[in-house]
Structure 1
């Protein structure tokens, strides 16, 4: 197989699914505006995708290698193409909930296949971290492009439903990626489990889950995604209701967070070749906390301005999303640390656990932040992120100690 070709195909597939997974904030805003959804109703979209991710990861993660990574990716891409074309005719909030169930199913399978394939391609732990950083960076760049794509269709929408035409473009992209994978082979022999272990299934995940090193990594990833999804999902609403920006501009300015995250993940692939991961991630957490404490007070007392534009938006709209630069390296680094310590045939099971805990973190974080936005002034809601940041800072040294003792293996 062509290593570069597979990496490119993985990155593009993962990025395209990332567009859909992270469109929840935009869809919440549009559902509130056009489908008469409440904020707690909007937060159910996060649950629709993340609880589906949990269920699918638990049920099929260890079966993906048996089905085949390439065939699994083709199947979910074809399913997503059909779902996008169908939802373009949506007339109510239920259709969006159904779409995010399909998104969760597809993403769970694709993520296991993607990370397990990285294990087949990587030559050593540093190479694994580098490939992971690149693919996660392209993932974030895809999300950034998706934010602008949705914002463009929203800006052109004068009927209330015209923005749904974005799903025609996305459906065509998914169909094109499915065709690309039909001509992109993968050598999957390294993913085979040792003879006699084919029936491990949930038992393999359970054995990994009770390892102290695994528990520490999963806890760190849970709290990370709780923060990331809290910010990413509710930032458009924060821009619209707290900073009083127009809907399309609220979505487009939220892309700063995504762009900052893409930059952080791509840069981490370079930085972590020269700096040990523990001090690097602890430094990132300090910077994230500093940006939260500096930028949120600037959002207080912002008054509506009908003539607001990109040059006159509140400074908090630009400063707060920059925390993505320092937040983003945490996830791929912890995933790489966990997977590099395991033999390749255990990567699918470990990714199943990672996806489950990540999904739970995303659902809980979005729900808590939605409730805070509903009952508290919007400027206070994001202060909640300081709590999981502190918990991650406590967990990282534990992961490093366990890694050094070889407990992950």
Structure 2
């Protein structure tokens, strides 16, 4: 029973943060409608979220065991719960930015704590892997739920209305429920063994690691991948609304296909990679990503207002564009696996720091660039621009493979 309560607490926390973290695309679309801001202005939300995660993960991760994982999670949940409760009453874009900064900060506390707690409640590699996959699966369930939860609070007849902000009252209740579960869960306080200078030591180790040519190629690949994923994922609801002319609620709901595609793509890749080498497989994925963009974007023409009343009325392009997630899904976990498996275990922590930082930078850059191009040249052109980093990843993977040829363990 105590273990079950702990698992329920961390799963509930991950579920609600999945909704908040992956609501950026929806909130960008609604902020443009409600607060009458430009697309470049709206694009900064990704930065408030991602840079907060990166900064807090790096700066205080080594101090979290000192205050205890339970307290760290309670701080994160309470902070975001308060921000969610305040957001609808203030109803301003600056508080949306503050909310995403808070979500990023809190998720860094929660993620570090959850990963450590999983180690506390499992006693073997097999059970650890099983629980980790379960928690990440619940996170994906939260991602999918978020699109439908947000769309339920949007008035399709008055897209400029701020009534959609009431969704944050509902999310505040979910956060309260997760907080109560964490309070009740018998999460143990870790032994405070970390030295005061460990954070500085981690920073120095990370910088030294980044000097290696293989690592430089790897972090560039990570940066480019997340640039594509966040550029498309964050702007897909706006693309559906402004390029295809879909109603706002359906624009958001149909974006869930992107999340489903990512989930299916990663599950399928796990099976495929037991039989094929990662390098030709990822090259095939990148080529197919480019083909999906080249085939689907010419079909993206605006439908007449009032002709789309449900998902089943949406044009073919609305379903094809998010299917790129199937092909891009394996890239990020596979190159992470290849890189980490090439390093001795003591270097995994600083490498994880580099992954978090460059993922955040890539996500923020992708969202901002897409926002500016979307504003200046239109949504189709903005999505066509994803072909550039796709080609660049093909190049970086070539050098990455050549530099990592001495590795003996395959990435699965």
- TM class by shorter chain equals 0.7 to 0.9
1:66-215 equivalences under 5 Å are: 66-114=66-114, 135-155=135-155, 160-182=161-183, 183=185, 185=187, 200-215=201-216
Query: In terms of mean alpha carbon deviation, does 115-124 or 45-54 score higher?
Result: 115-124
The residue that corresponds to 1:289 in the other structure is 290
Matched, 1:57 2:57: yes
Output one character per residue of 1:307-344: Cα deviation in whole Å (capped at 9) or x when no partner: 22323321100111111122122223333444455566
Q: Quick one: distance in 2 between partners of 1:187 and 1:343?
A: 28
Query: In terms of mean alpha carbon deviation, does 239-248 or 22-31 score higher?
Result: 22-31
Change (3 A) 1:142 1:337: farther
The residue that corresponds to 2:24 in the other structure is 24
Query: In terms of mean alpha carbon deviation, does 88-97 or 227-236 score higher?
Result: 88-97
The residue that corresponds to 1:299 in the other structure is 300
Q: Quick one: distance in 1 between partners of 2:193 and 2:289?
A: 40
Long gaps (5+) in structure 1: none
1:249-268 equivalences under 5 Å are: 249-268=250-269
Change (3 A) 1:272 1:348: same
Change (3 A) 1:119 1:193: farther
Long gaps (5+) in structure 2: none
The residue that corresponds to 2:224 in the other structure is 223
Matched, 1:34 2:34: yes
Report the CA distance between 1:366 and its aligned residue.
0.7
Secondary structure of 1:311 counterpart: helix
Report the CA distance between 1:266 and its aligned residue.
3.1
The residue that corresponds to 2:354 in the other structure is 353
The residue that corresponds to 1:243 in the other structure is 244
Q: Quick one: distance in 1 between partners of 2:154 and 2:297?
A: 27
Q: Aligned-residue CA RMSD in angstroms?
A: 3.5
Report the CA distance between 1:258 and its aligned residue.
1.4
Secondary structure of 2:47 counterpart: helix
Change (3 A) 1:138 1:210: farther
Output one character per residue of 1:100-139: Cα deviation in whole Å (capped at 9) or x when no partner: 1111212333344455667786966x99887766554443
Q: Quick one: distance in 1 between partners of 2:132 and 2:247?
A: 36
Q: Does the 8 Å CA contact 2:246/2:303 hold for their aligned counterparts?
A: no
